[in-house]
Amino acid sequence: MALAALVPGALLGWVVYEAVGGGGSDHAASAASASGASAAPSSHSSPSTDSAAPPGSGGASAGDGKDTAGGSGPLAGKVVVIDPGHNQGNFEHATEINQQVDIGTNRKECDTTGTSTDAGYTEARFTLDVAHRLRALLEKQGATVKMTRDGDSPAWGPCVDQRARFGNTARADAAISIHADGAAQGDRGFHVILPGSVHAGAADTRKIVGPSRDLGTRIAGDFLRDTGEPPSNYVGKGTGLVTRTDLGGLNLSTVPKVFIECGNMRDSKDSALLTSGAWRQKAAQGMSDGIVSFLRES
């Protein structure tokens, strides 16, 4: 599909590709399962472009129930939950993250370590950095922002069911879980994961499927525009959108929520972008633009 056609307006008419997987990770893929590579931290030094969070992005620790500063901008009164995927501490807490939790349709691991670039820049670090940047942008728009984890808190996890409940308890107007994929070299591009219709056990997504699709479509369009990253060439049939019913973070959500896989950390072209602080700022901007668009019209 021609990139010029994938503008936000056209995205609203995309046909969503149903891709219900059964992987162990609570997102599209992990490095260990998708590429056979180890997901353990590398001894290589992390890229110098892994800059600190932008000024003014400080806020509440994960799960402490405190709001970050909501202002008087266009999103005043709106609550956004940001869920940075995985946790750097998961590498040292294998027993805890391997415990099974109920995701409605079945039971699944509490969490996984996530993937990393070949040079050892972990998904957990990437997602937290982008989350900080996104938080700062949303706060400038007046939103109250909460994060499921921040800094070293909690030490591992949270489990995928806890991440979903965090957004539910916060009564979020929108929630986004940030990830990066771990597929094979040559597989590249972003995709936004939408919740499918699930009504089983503790899961009932029927009320959020529509608004979540709207949220995800807007984020996909703005992410493409702001970053120039193409839609995934290995899932989603070029649309940049995938629907799944095997993810606890989506199945158990009662608020509009999507996942975004920002790129493939195991692909050399994508990893060059993901390890760039300047590009991560563009990624945060794309997410912010999509969330702002959704909230201003919801």
Residues annotated catalytic, as ranges: 261
C-beta pairs of 206-214 under 8 Å, 24+ apart in sequence:
207/254, 208/253, 208/254, 208/255, 208/256, 208/257, 211/256, 211/294, 211/298, 212/250, 212/253, 212/256, 212/257, 212/258, 213/16, 214/256, 214/294, 214/298
- DSSP-assigned letters across all residues of 170-219: TT-SEEEEEEEE---TT---BEEEEEPP-EETTEE-TTTHHHHHHHHHHH
Angle, to 10 degrees, between the axis of helix 209-227 and the axis of helix 277-297?
A: 140
3-state percent helix, strand, coil for the chain, nearest multiple of 5:
35, 20, 50
The b/e string for 38-59 (b: 16+ C-beta within 10 A; e otherwise) is ebebeeeebbeebeebbeebeb
CA 62 from chain centre, in angstroms, equals 16
Dihedral of CA atoms 166, 171, 176, 182 in degrees, nearest 10, equals 30
CA distances from 263 to 51, 168, 187, 197, 206 (A): 19, 27, 9, 26, 28
User: CA-based diameter of the chain, in Å?
Assistant: 48
**CB under 8 Å to 68, separation ≥6 — which residues?**
58, 59, 60, 135, 139, 144, 145, 146
